[in-house]
Amino acid sequence: MTAWHAAQLAVTVLALVQLTRVARAVLWTAPCDARVLSDAVTVSLAGRQPELARRLASAAQPAWAAQMTTLGLSDPEGVTPRDAMDDLRSTLVGKQADRVRALAALGRIAGPLAFLAIVLELAAAFGPGHGLLALQRGLVQSLAIERAVLSFAIGLATTLACTLAARFLRERLRVLSDELKQAREALLRALEPMADM
C-alpha cells in the first residue's frame, strides 16, 4: 500500500462517517408517520385537549414532525408558531442537506484522487531506483499495474457509493420536508379555533 492508497482510504472513511451520520438522521431518527401524528393531534385539539396533543407529540420524539408539532404547541415567545416551525424545519432539513452535499463532494474528490494515484503509480514504474525488484523482468511494471488497479477500485467504489447515497438521501430529505410542511399546515388549522378562545 502506498501513500496514495492511504489518502484514498482516508477519503473513503470520511465518506462512510458522513454517510452514517446522515443515514442515521434521515432514515432512523427523522421519520414517523407525520399524517397519523397530525390527525391525532388535530383530534385532540378539536376535543379541547391540548395537553393530550402535547403528550402525543412528545411520545413521538425525536421524529422531526414530533419536534415541530411540540414546538407549535408550546406557544414560543416572540414569534408566531408558523415562523417557529418554519425555522425548525429549515434547521433540521438544512443541516442534513449540508451533510449530503459534503458526502457528494467527497465522492467527487475520490475520482480525481484515484486518477492521480493511477498516473503516479504507472509513472513511477518506468522511473529509476527500483533496486532488486528491477532484476526480475516486468515485476516493477506488474506491481505498478496492481497498485493502479487497487487505486481505481477504491476510487470507483467510493465515487459510486457517495453519488448513489447522496441521490437517495436528497430524495428522502425532500419527502421529509414536504411531510413537515403538511404537518405544519394541519397543526396551524387545528390551532385556529384554540386562538379564538
pLDDT number for residue 135 = 55
For residue 182, name the pLDDT band (cuts at 50, 70, 90).
Answer: very high
With a pLDDT cut of 70, the percent of the chain lying above it is: 91
Q: How far is the C-alpha of 106 from the C-alpha of 160, rounded, in Å?
A: 11
Q: Which DSSP string corresponds to 171-194? A: HHHHHHHHHHHHHHHHHHHHHHHH
pLDDT number for residue 133 = 57
For residues 143-147, give the mean pLDDT: 84
Q: Which domain holds residue 126?
A: 3-196
142 three-class SS: helix
pLDDT number for residue 69 = 92
Does residue 197 carry a pLDDT above 80? no
pLDDT number for residue 75 = 74
pLDDT number for residue 147 = 87
pLDDT number for residue 194 = 64
Number of domains in the chain: 1
